Chain A
Amino acid sequence: MLSRAADSLFWLARYMERMDNVARLLEAAQSMSGMTEGVEEWESALAATGCDEGYEEKHGAVTREKATHYLAADLENPSSILSCFDAARTNARAMRTALTSDMWDAVNSAWLEARRLTGPAFKPERIGETVDWVKSVGTRFYGAYAGTMLRNEVYWFTRLGTFIERADNTARILDVKYHLLLPRDEGVGGAQDYYQWTSILRAVSAVRAYQWVYRTEVKPWNIAELLILRPEMPRSLRACYDEIDQALAQLAASHSGRRGECHRLAGEIAAQLRYGRVEDIFRIGLHEYLTEMIERTARLGDEVRSFYMR
């Protein structure tokens, strides 16, 4: 396939995933803001999406209304939901021929509907509905490509985009809260702590999953393990890297075994996650560990592009 097509699909999938993640963070912040007077949750959401600096430059102090708008509907913010829609659709349109009609329809009809986020049509007080809608768009896109694409390199590049973006997002969400996840096997303190911890789970739609896996009260140690090392948790770094590793292996297989640095790096990270232990992560320091993970994931994205898309 064309290098540019691979690039477009990769970014299409990344923007669709990012949009979905921003929506989940908005939802988590929204649900928390009923619990506290402060704006800490909004600051977290801005930081986890990498929007904190841009926000501060534009608005200064964080308020709920402005943060909601900045994350959902501000075209000056390249990671806002609306910007993600635009970027996803531009990439989809650039390579329409590589998309199945179901995928195109999922992206294009969502883009047409995304006008509800523009200008006066945007209603911050109805952000809950918007979040639900955006999540359904993400699910539809994912379902469309999983259900209709041929299992050839077009599919594996798309999948690579989804999971590299998801790994990055999960690491960021955790990193923003690392100070809450103390390296002690402690129970929940006050109600405030409890809500903050569960907000992490909520941001990755894992409140129920936690209960199914651990069948115990919410503990920070477990949360970190769930989101980093557990293979059955679909947004954990481990699960993402298993997918990335598999996608790259499939690409190598369809290119007569040709491999590069991206394959080695992905394999190395996947192996570390597969055999890693949560106590070792806390020994290194959770923040240090996550920072490195974010950097390596970014480097992997670059390696994929320089190997396949130049």
Chain B
Amino acid sequence: MFDEMYESDGVPRAPYAGVARWLEALNVEALRMKRDEAERLFRRIGITFAVYTEGGDPERLIPYDLVPRVLAASEWAQLEKGLKQRVRALNAFIGDVYSKQEILKAGKVPESLILQNPALTAPMHGLAVAGGVYTHIAGIDLVRTGADDFYVLEDNCRTPSGVSYMLENRAVMMRLFPEFFATAGVEPVARYPERLLRALQSVAPPYCGGDPTVVVLTPGQYNSAYYEHSFLADEMGVELVEGADLVVEDDVVYTRTTQGLTRVDVIYRRIDDDFLDPEVFRKDSALGVPGLMRAYRAGNVTITNAVGAGIADDKAVYVYVPEMVRFYLGEEPILKNVPTFQCNRPDELSHVLANLHELVVKETRGSGGYGMMIGPQATKAERAAFAKKIKADPEAYIAQPTLALSTCPTFVDSGVAPRHVDLRPFVLCGADRIDIVPGGLTRVALREGSLVVNSSQGGGTKDTWVLRGNGGA
């Protein structure tokens, strides 16, 4: 098990030297006070998250952990290169799937996996999207198992969320511990909103002249990520709209304003494909905009992320991403995939069924930590039940070895203790460049030994520091 802060002999690693000194100087009582202060701040700002199913407080906080997660400049440089490469390949792949399908013809990705995939979106075929970009904001989930061992756990090309936590966690950290932060030499993340706006403006439709109108489209204030939607709109200085604020006339999208209709050029939507346009997708959707797809297909508006980008999020498609890097870029992948067994292959299926107690099994179309089973932590009965499900529909599952995710010191009830973490950096693709703000969202599994970091499953978050140097001294 790799601890990010301490070597096995208990000596702090170089990037964490400052954090270790800071932790030593603080007692549990001081930490507790700061944690309560942080919670009050989050509530006052209104950074809350709706967790369905449970009763009680409808607006809950994602627990914020005070101990930052740290990456050295050299570690980040390598990740950054790998992320840019991977997202370039993913964009090329999505574009290919909706046009010539060369990667299928070359036999590098099985046709059946793509052509029969429900995430494949027919109205996207042959549509030339602005700048050739499909996933404008990609969240790539990484895990670490050793000093130099980072793996991509999954790609989120659809509508990744969590970036507001990256920004607010930093703001709260700087407010709670200004002296500590000032001496730590951390790369800023606050430029994210302006970079995001630049990326969105760069993919405005070709007809659009100098100053495209960008809006953020939200399902509304009862959506669990509503705070993030309003935060990003506010930070970018653009309107936050709901479906009912938009109207399509003659295949042009407008917002309803106090001065009549105003044309919209780029929509950063945080609504799933299914709900975007009742004329084309779900007819019962009240969240979307009738006619939006007509305007999109006419080239009169850019939708980000592109409709149909979810084809790249499928966990069985994930297996082929390294192949995409080779196929489209002619490069060797910098970031590693987790070795993955595909249950639709008979030999791999029997291996999976025989080794369930060591594997993590995931639904290929699941997300948010739902629909998965962690073999070593499951009971015998749970494993048997899952085996049944896999046998009934092998296509719907993949399996991976249970990775020993790295741990990072975390403030819990018993004091400061190691807990498992992952990392989601946010990759911004404009028409001309790819930008990654140094940092990301570190999620932490607060229960001892737990490997599930999803906020819907009781995970928390940490501020993520990328150092200007490599730390030490």
A interface residues (Cβ-Cβ under 8 A, vs B) = 1-6, 90, 93-97, 104-105, 108-109, 112, 153, 157, 251, 255, 258, 308-310
Contacts and interface: CB of A to CB of B under 8 A. Distances in A.
The size class of the interface chain B forms with chain A is: 20 to 34
Most chain A beta carbons < 10 A, residue from B45, B220, B221, B233: B221
B8 interface: no
Interface stretch (B240-248, B383-391, B434-442, B450-458): B240-248
A176 to B, nearest CB: 35
B258 A6 contact: yes
B201 interface: no
B234 A97 contact: yes
A2 B241 contact: yes
B84 to A, nearest CB: 31
A104 B46 contact: yes
Given A90-B221, A153-B258, A4 B244 contact: yes
A295 B167 CA distance: 49
A96 B234 contact: yes
Given A2-B255, A258-B259, A308-B258, A93 B46 contact: yes
A108 to B, nearest CB: 5
Contacts of B220: 94
Contacts of A4: 242, 244-245, 256
Nearest to B234: A97
Contacts of A3: 245, 256-258
Interface string B218-245: 0011000010001001100001111011
Nearest to A111: B46
Contact of B221 (A6, A94, A108): A94
A135 to B, nearest CB: 21
10 contacts: A2-B239, A2-B245, A3-B256, A3-B257, A93-B230, A96-B46, A108-B44, A108-B46, A255-B259, A258-B259
B351 interface: no
Contact of B257 (A1, A94, A251): A1
Contacts of A93: 46, 221, 226, 230
B326 interface: no
B43 interface: yes
A4 B257 CA distance: 8
B58 to A, nearest CB: 12
B218 to A, nearest CB: 10
A3 B241 CA distance: 10
A279 to B, nearest CB: 41
Nearest to A90: B221
Contacts of B259: 255, 258
B47 to A, nearest CB: 11
Contact of A97 (B44, B240, B255, B258): B240
B256 to A, nearest CB: 5
B122 to A, nearest CB: 33
Interface string B255-283: 11111000000000000000000000000
Give the most central of A4, A90, A95, A251: most B CB within 10 Å.
Answer: A4
B10 to A, nearest CB: 43
Given A105-B44, A109-B44, A255-B259, 19 more contacts: A1-B257, A2-B239, A2-B258, A3-B256, A4-B245, A4-B256, A93-B46, A95-B240, A96-B46, A97-B233, A97-B234, A97-B240, A104-B46, A108-B44, A251-B258, A255-B258, A258-B259, A308-B258, A310-B256
B24 to A, nearest CB: 35
Contacts of B46: 93, 96, 104, 108
A97 B239 contact: yes
Nearest to B240: A97
B264 to A, nearest CB: 11
Given A2-B245, A108-B44, A108-B46, A96 B230 contact: yes
A251 B258 CA distance: 10
Contacts of B239: 1-2, 5, 97
Interface in B30-50: 43-46
A105 B45 CA distance: 7
Contacts of A112: 43-44
Nearest to A157: B258
Nearest to A255: B259
B216 to A, nearest CB: 9
A251 B257 CA distance: 13
A258 to B, nearest CB: 7
Contacts of B43: 112
Contacts of A104: 46
Nearest to B232: A97
Contacts of A1: 239, 257-258
Nearest to A7: B258
A247 to B, nearest CB: 13
A301 to B, nearest CB: 16
B96 to A, nearest CB: 37
A157 B233 CA distance: 21
B230 A97 contact: yes
A157 to B, nearest CB: 8
Nearest to A3: B256
Contacts of B230: 93, 96-97
A90 B255 CA distance: 22
Contacts of A108: 44-46
B422 to A, nearest CB: 29
Which 5 A/B pairs are nearest by Cβ-Cβ distance?
A: A96-B230, A97-B234, A308-B258, A3-B256, A97-B240
A63 B209 CA distance: 67
A142 B244 CA distance: 30
Nearest to A91: B221
Nearest to A309: B258
Most chain B CB neighbours (cut-off 10 Å) among A3, A90, A153, A309: A3
Contacts of A95: 240
A163 B369 CA distance: 50
Contacts of A5: 239
Residue of B226, B257, B258 with most partner-chain A CB within 10 A: B258
Nearest to A108: B46
Contacts of B44: 105, 108-109, 112
A248 to B, nearest CB: 12
Contacts of B255: 2
